[in-house]
């Protein structure tokens, strides 16, 4: 069975609750994302626990620092054996190139290196506050171009930008998108949502899905429903 593009976001303050969810999921149907909250609470051991359960882990720590520090941080993530790691594209091309070069010696074991463009929670007013006068879509394209030039594997973006990004940067440029909502789920606080099928049709490679699975009465059934919807595309 081909691994599905679903990455389940583990946003929990309680490790037992997270592992209870994980024990209901199937590593053939999804990967797992560990972000700042769980990594700060439970550290690399938690990531290792997930890997021992045969899950690929996306370490979502969104590194943004001087090039030397980010290079060392992505190397530490690679040593941990994660499948995907990310940085902020707004850290600039020198930072992103340093991160890419730090992973060069990992060959087949190299994690995918992805850059965050504009967070899906940010609107025009948030960019203006930072002195950025471009629209969020224009800023995404600008940061994606910088990411592509820096030789990274792809970007985190909204599914609404996927079509334009694939057109501009080609099929190999990987798109990772949050804000995905299956027809059976509510939008929660996500603003511009797409269904999994729409996202795949738009060119999304990996979709980060949290609450529609983690808060479902039957998480595996929710995951299977998404997988079936994707197989029908
Ligand atoms: O990097 C992310 O994963 C991320 C970037 C972004 O721009 N927006 C966004 O929602 N996310 C994450 O994607 C996940 C979405 O979770 P749900 O809204 O519950 O599906 C959360 O872990 C967010 O932190």
Q: Which CA distances in Å does 194 have to 161, 179, 222? A: 11, 7, 16
Residue 129: CB atoms within 10 A of its CB come to 9
pLDDT of 231 higher than 90? no
Torsions phi, psi for 84 (to 5 deg): -145, 145
Predicted pLDDT at 228: 87
* pLDDT tens digits, 3-33: 789 999 999 999 999 999 999 999 999 999 9
Distance CA 165, CA 159 (A): 10
Q: Which of 7, 8, 9, 37 to mutate to test the pocket of ligand 1 (most atoms within 8 A of CB)?
A: 9
Q: How far apart are CA 105 and CA 78, in angstroms?
A: 10
The reply to whether 67 sits in an annotated binding site is yes
Which residue minimizes the CA distance to atom 4 of ligand 1? 178
Annotated catalytic residues are 62
Q: What values do phi and psi take at 146, rounded to 5? A: -65, -40
Residue-range domains of the chain with CATH: 6-231 (3.20.20.70)
Ligand 1, closest atom to CA 122? 7
| Residue 1, pLDDT above cutoff 70 | no
What are the pocket residues of ligand 1 if the criterion is a CB atom closer than 6 Å to any ligand atom? Answer: 9, 11, 35, 60, 116, 119-120, 156, 178, 188, 190, 208-211
Task: Tell me the pairing of strands 112-116 and 31-35.
Answer: unpaired
Nearest CA to ligand 1 atom 8: 120
44-58, 146-160, 184-198, 210-224 — which is least confidently predicted? 184-198
Supply 15's token pair: 């490790």
How far is residue 15's CA from residue 113's CA, in Å, rounded to a whole number? Answer: 26
List 63's β-bridge partners, or say none.
Answer: 87
Which pair of structure tokens corresponds to residue 179?
């804000």
The pLDDT tens digits of the residues spanning 79-119 come to: 999 999 999 999 999 999 999 999 999 988 899 999 999 99
Q: Which ipTM was obtained for this model?
A: 0.95
């Amino acid at each position: 069975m081909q691994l599905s593009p679903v990455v389940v976001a583990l946003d929990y303050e309680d490790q037992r609750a997270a592992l209870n969810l994980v024990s209901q999921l199937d590593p053939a149907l999804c990967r797992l994302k560990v972000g700042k909250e769980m990594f700060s609470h439970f550290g690399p051991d938690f990531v290792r626990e997930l890997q021992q359960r045969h899950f690929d882990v996306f370490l979502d720590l969104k590194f943004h620092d001087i090039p030397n520090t980010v290079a060392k941080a992505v190397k530490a993530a690679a040593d941990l054996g994660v499948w995907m790691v990310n940085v902020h594209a707004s850290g600039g091309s020198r930072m992103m190139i340093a991160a890419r070069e730090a992973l060069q010696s990992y060959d087949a074991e190299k994690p995918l290196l992805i850059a965050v463009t504009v967070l899906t929670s940010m609107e025009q007013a948030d960019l203006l506050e930072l002195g950025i006068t471009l629209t969020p879509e224009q800023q995404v394209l600008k940061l994606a171009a910088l990411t592509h030039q820096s030789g990274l594997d792809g970007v985190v973006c909204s599914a609404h930008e996927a079509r334009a990004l694939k057109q501009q940067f080609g099929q190999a440029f990987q798109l990772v998108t949050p804000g995905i909502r299956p027809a059976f789920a509510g939008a929660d606080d996500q603003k511009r949502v797409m269904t999994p099928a729409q996202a795949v049709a738009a060119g999304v490679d990996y979709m980060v899905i949290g609450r529609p699975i983690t808060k479902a009465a039957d998480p595996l059934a929710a995951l299977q429903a998404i997988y079936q919807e994707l197989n029908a595309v």
